[in-house]
Amino acid sequence: MDKNDGAPPAEVGAGAKIVLVHQDPESQEVLELLRALEQRDYHCAVFSCCELALEQCEPSLLGAAIVSLDLPAPGATDFARRLRELAGDAFLPIVVVGGEERIRDEIQCFAGACDDFMATPISTPEFLVRIATLIERQRVHADLVNVNAELGREQERRRALAALIVHDLRNPLSAIVGNVQLLEEVLSDAEDTMIGQCLDDLEQLSTRTLSMVAGLLDVEEFEGGTLQATRESVDVYGLVARMPSFYKTATEARYLHMHVRCPETVHASFDRQLIARILENLLDNAVRYAPRCGKVVLSVLAEGRDLIFEVGNDGPAIPTVERGRMFERYYRLEGRRKGTRSNRGLGLYFCRLAADAHSGTITVAERRELPACFVLRLPDCIVDETSQSDSTEVAAPPPG
């Protein structure tokens, strides 16, 4: 073994507990290693066999383990794997030492069993540096585990807060919906048609707001794996044909043309509520960012057994750099008009999670008539072979 001349000064992290397992604990090689480690305030325990080391050491409290490749059965690599199992989630650095030829012959066995290996004779300065580096990695790993645990606790607090908000908002919103419906019944014979129209709009808006509030909780349940898509056979034309009526006020106010194109005979298997909410989110965005007097289109296409929804407007295309990130949670999309920013909150993130629940995808594309277009693809869900018929268009043109 090389002499200790030129060894580095005491390393940060010294004082850690180190176990050394060697077939000859009294050898000159082992004694020199121990002397070098103890000079840097490491606390060492030496064992001549694996079983004794396992009996007397708590792996989760160790800073590192040094194992001789020449140990009798069960051998160094098996012992190292056993140590790693006992350490659990804690990172336990393990160094295997042995003859260069032996290491070369068995190096494939080290994968997953140890973090480093050194050939004898060992350079003491190099050995100390490697041990200090591995113990520093252990400290960083422990810090990351703690940070991750704290992030988990913070996420749980946020989920609890979201559930509380949803609970507190759902009751008054439900009451609003109920009162609006009651007013509609009471005033059903009113001569002023504007009253009926306003109440109808209020009912639709409050119902959609209630659905959006429920979406907050749905996002948390999707992430937690507790919310699943419940498939049923859906008349797709019946689902999408009524959607222009939800946006009558907005389209009239901004003179937008809204068109829905869908085969009348298409039936598919998916979660009606989740897909309807995806389409409502996409239509909300399309209407909000469409240019005045512009066009909003919802198209339904059949491609084999895949069902494709395309929702877009004839406004500016979404920048390529934004497209891969806009479905992230709380991602803020740069506004398409100079000096504006749009916070899309959980809407598009929910769309992605709901698409994932159907093993589907949602992406951004450009079409000739729709530079800004979202594409939702639901694979293998069409259940009616007659769905390849020509599309029927439902339009909601602006007044005048």
Domains of the chain by residue range? 17-146, 149-224, 232-396
The architecture (CATH level 2) of 17-146 comes to 3-Layer(aba) Sandwich (3.40)
Q: Are 96 and 114 in contact (CB under 8 A)?
A: yes
Q: Are 364 and 375 in contact (CB under 8 A)?
A: yes
What's the whole-model pTM score? 0.52
Q: What is the pLDDT along the chain (400 residues), one digit of tens a residue?
A: 444 444 444 444 467 899 898 888 888 888 888 898 888 889 998 988 888 888 888 888 888 888 888 877 777 888 888 888 888 888 888 888 888 887 877 777 777 778 888 888 888 888 889 888 888 888 898 889 889 889 888 877 877 777 777 767 777 777 887 887 788 777 877 777 777 778 877 877 777 777 767 666 666 666 666 567 889 999 999 999 988 888 887 888 889 999 999 998 899 999 998 899 899 889 988 998 899 999 999 999 999 999 999 999 999 998 888 887 888 766 655 444 443 334 445 678 888 888 999 999 999 999 988 999 999 999 999 986 554 445 666 555 454 4
- Choose which CATH entry (2.60.120.380, 3.30.479.30, 3.30.70.640, 3.30.565.10) describes domain 232-396: 3.30.565.10
Burial of 205 (0-12, 13-18, 19+ CB in 10 A): middle
Q: Say what the pLDDT of residue 340 is.
A: 38
List the one residue out of 92, 47, 98 whose CA is nearest residue 68: 98
Task: For residues 398 and 396, give the distance between their C-alpha atoms in angstroms, rounded to a whole number.
Answer: 7
Outline where DSSP puts E strands in the chain: 17-21, 43-47, 64-68, 94-99, 116-120, 232-235, 257-263, 267-270, 295-303, 306-313, 332-334, 341-343, 361-365, 372-378, 391-396
Q: Could you tell me the strand order of the sheet in which 391-396 lies?
A: 361-365, 372-378, 306-313, 295-303, 257-263, 391-396
3-state secondary structure of 316: coil
Q: Say what the pLDDT of residue 395 is.
A: 52
Q: Are 327 and 362 in contact (CB under 8 A)?
A: yes
List the one residue out of 357, 359, 333 whose CA is nearest residue 345: 333
Provide the total of helices (H) and of strands (E) in the chain, helices listed first.
11, 15
DSSP label at residue 71: P
